[in-house]
Structure 1
Amino acid sequence: MKDFKTVKETRVSLTELMLPSHSNFGGKVHGGYILNLMDQIAFACASKHSQSYCVTASVNRVNFLNPIEVGELVTLKASINYTGKTSMVVGVRVESENITTGKKKHCNSSYFTMVAKDADGNNIKVPGLLIEDADSVRRFARSKYYKEQAHDRGNKFERKGFDISEYLPLIEGENVSVNLR
């Protein structure tokens, strides 16, 4: 296995026609179905990069920007944005296309943290990322920043050491009633 791989080497895409069976009660494609496709393509991309089985460790925010209609083509694109020792951040972009007009819409983007595993389920080392352009540097730096932010955010709100007096003013004026005992 190579020590480093380029973004291009492990980039993957998937295009699928959206059928009535994919729709929700509102007649649009169900968000859960799109999330399932996103997880599948993130797995494929991470597995291709690491040449091993991978699991989803976390998903960093999914915003549904535009609805997807039944009859549209949905294209998902995935690439490795960041590599750690055993984990990778996979950027996933979802676009839909009206097949009669050719009009395309950006529907959502998300970032999946995937961890490489061996046959016994232990974390294993992944190849690093060989960055070849400024956009890849931006994506790597953004992923590293979000990873650090998530770690800080998680620690900040641990039960042990949480100072309630620091956060009561923050929730004042929100749609909440505080009745502490």
Structure 2
Amino acid sequence: MAENETPAGKTARESASTLSESMMPDQLNHHGNVFGGEILALVDKCGGVVARRHARSPVVTVAVDRVEFRQPIYASDFVEAHGRLTHVGRTSMEVMVTVEAEQIETGRRRCTNICYLTYVALDKLNGKPAAVPPLILETDEDRRLHAAAERRRERRIADEDGE
């Protein structure tokens, strides 16, 4: 593929990823909940896997658009971060990561976090932004998430213009 050539399109399903981790006592704050930073690290790792799978090149995190901490996560909870693409630009990708905590003893699962992160693909030779495959929207859910991502992108651009 030539340096300026756009790669063939890919679906969100092709790059979706789930990372799992058991929460341990050393990850707790003084309230007995898992540190928010521990969850953000898991979210960024998951999002990075999704972006790299899509781009098939190195990526860097350039923005965390929104993070919602809906419920606490406790020691011994089993945590899963589910990542999927919602929007793709020329070199950038927005990834939505949802976090679920499972209470091991009961199997009860709850959504604890939703996060939106933006990554930029880098070329392997000089670390400059690189073109990524366009996003193929397969399902109504893909189209709904893409439309919401477009609205977030428009707000970010408007915020930048207002500075």
The answer to whether TM tops 0.5 is: yes
Residues 75-154 of structure 1 mapped to structure 2, 5 A cutoff: 75-119=80-124, 120-154=126-160
Question: Share of identical aligned residues, percent?
Answer: 36
Shift of 1:153: 1.4
TM-score of the superposed pair, with normalisation by structure 2: 0.93
What stretches of structure 1 of length at least 5 have no aligned partner? 159-181
Partner of residue 33, structure 1 = 38
Q: Deviations over 1:11-59 (max 9, x none)?
A: 0001110000111111110000100111111111100100010011111
Q: Greater Rg, structure 1 or structure 2?
A: 1
Structure 1 runs of 4+ aligned residues shifted over 4 Å read none
Cα distance between partner residues in 1 of 2:71 and 2:87: 27
| TM-score, length-scaled by structure 1 | 0.84
Instruction: Could you tell me which runs of 5 or more consecutive residues in structure 2 were left unpaired when the two chains were aligned.
Output: 2-6
RMSD: 1.0
Higher RCO (CA < 8 A, seq sep 6+): 2
Q: Which amino acid aligns with 2:157?
A: H
Q: For residue 123 of structure 1, what is the amino acid of its counterpart?
A: P
Aligned-partner Cα distance in 1 for 2:26–2:18: 22
SS of the equivalent of 2:40 reads: helix
